[in-house]
Amino acid sequence: MRILLLNPNTSRAMTAKIADAARGVAGPDVVIDAVCPATGAPAIESHVDEIAAAAAVVELIVADRDGVDPADAYVIACFGDPGLDAARELVEVPVIGIAEAAMHLAAVSGRHFGVVTTLSRTLGRARDLVARYGMDRACASLAATGIPVLDLEDTGSVAVETIARYSADAAASGADVIVLGCAGMADLCAELTARVGVPVVDGVAAAVGMASGMVRMGLGTSKRDEYAAPPVREPVRAGSGFAATVGPERREAAFAGGPGASVVPGVGGAAFAGGPGATAHAPGPPAASGCEIPRGGSGHRRDSSPGGAIPGVPTDVDDGYIRETQGA
């Protein structure tokens, strides 16, 4: 069984940390690979970052799906679960978001849970996910530590003390379980559980456990209605609302919607615009799957994707993964 972890920010250090946490709970027959985009948001800390993250998730899944050895399941390793619905349209295998997995597991572990996350500006998104996943009654509290995501690449004593303090406050306020609201906290579960005295759930571990269980049970993503494969449409000529240009040096795409729109470069050179007749001529970096750090193991190789991140639009995807691999 092979599970691919998708870290939608560009941090190599965090990608490696997430992979290590996943391997700690994966079974001996599970290969864990972890990838991140080569270009995009360094950290997912805003709604704009989340759009870039969702695009990266789609691009990485398409590249893997169309490769020589697609994963048996995918885990989106960002607590905002960016691109989750789009990702589920693209594949039939399980796709798990770490927030969804952590909240469901926490609701089984105790009656009430508290979420301890990074910056206060992310609390709105966390509240939205609590409601989406039907956890309004189970979620007792949401707390932001004020720690930026990239400060968690190397979790020092100050960060641990801060997260432990907020976790203890949540437990004192009635939380039976603590949910860690960032993939960068994945290595803190054992220490925090011992210090706070209640179970602490890391979404990366929760999602890997859920994904591997679904694979063993033969459960995938339903293709009825909402998560059916997205329609494939032929690009139309410029002036009709959609234009795309593909070349060896760049890949651009534009989605149109109101007069006078401008093109904004996005992840991997993708561009979203608004305006009938909008064209994409802002050069962006070539689409890349990420960059590669071999860690021994299975010898899986990711090949360039013949398909594109956007259905109907071919893309150039190079073979540059950050890849953390463990053999079966």
> Longest C-alpha distance within the chain, in Å?
62
The predicted pLDDT at position 154 comes to 77
- The answer, yes or no, to whether residue 247 has pLDDT greater than 90, is no
The whole-angstrom separation of Cα 202 and Cα 174 is 19
The DSSP call for residue 65 is H
Q: Mapping DSSP to helix (H, G, I), strand (E, B) and coil, where does residue 172 land?
A: helix
The predicted pLDDT at position 239 comes to 61
> Comparing C-alpha atoms, which of 136, 87, 79, 132 is closest to residue 113?
136
The predicted pLDDT at position 232 comes to 87
- The answer, yes or no, to whether residue 192 has pLDDT greater than 60, is yes
- Is-contact 179 113, C-beta < 8 A? yes
- The answer, yes or no, to whether residue 229 has pLDDT greater than 90, is yes
pLDDT more than 90, % of the chain: 66
pLDDT digits (tens, 9 = 90+) for 139-172: 999 999 999 998 988 767 788 999 999 999 999 9
Torsion of Cα atoms, 178 then 61 then 122 then 125, to 10°: -90
- The answer, yes or no, to whether residue 244 has pLDDT greater than 60, is no
List, in order of start, the domains of the chain with CATH numbers: 109-200 (3.40.50.12500)
The DSSP call for residue 188 is G
Q: Estimate the share of the chain in helix, then strand, then coil, as percent rounded to the nearest 5.
A: 35, 15, 50
The predicted pLDDT at position 185 comes to 92
- The answer, yes or no, to whether residue 15 has pLDDT greater than 90, is yes
The whole-angstrom separation of Cα 239 and Cα 127 is 41
Cα(first)–Cα(last) distance of the chain, in Å?
8
Query: 78-87, 141-150, 271-280 — which is least confidently predicted?
Result: 271-280
- The answer, yes or no, to whether residue 5 has pLDDT greater than 60, is yes
Confidence of residue 235 (pLDDT cuts 50, 70, 90): confident
The whole-angstrom separation of Cα 199 and Cα 192 is 8
Rounded to the nearest 10 degrees, the angle between the axes of helix 12-23 and helix 203-217 is 50
- The answer, yes or no, to whether residue 269 has pLDDT greater than 80, is no
Q: Mapping DSSP to helix (H, G, I), strand (E, B) and coil, where does residue 178 land?
A: strand
Give 140 or 242, the one with higher predicted confidence: 140
pLDDT digits (tens, 9 = 90+) for 290-322: 544 334 333 333 333 333 443 433 333 333 333
Q: Mapping DSSP to helix (H, G, I), strand (E, B) and coil, where does residue 50 land?
A: helix
Confidence of residue 255 (pLDDT cuts 50, 70, 90): very low
The predicted pLDDT at position 240 comes to 52
How open is the CA angle 183-103-215, to the nearest 5 degrees?
80
The whole-angstrom separation of Cα 287 and Cα 247 is 11
- The answer, yes or no, to whether residue 58 has pLDDT greater than 50, is yes
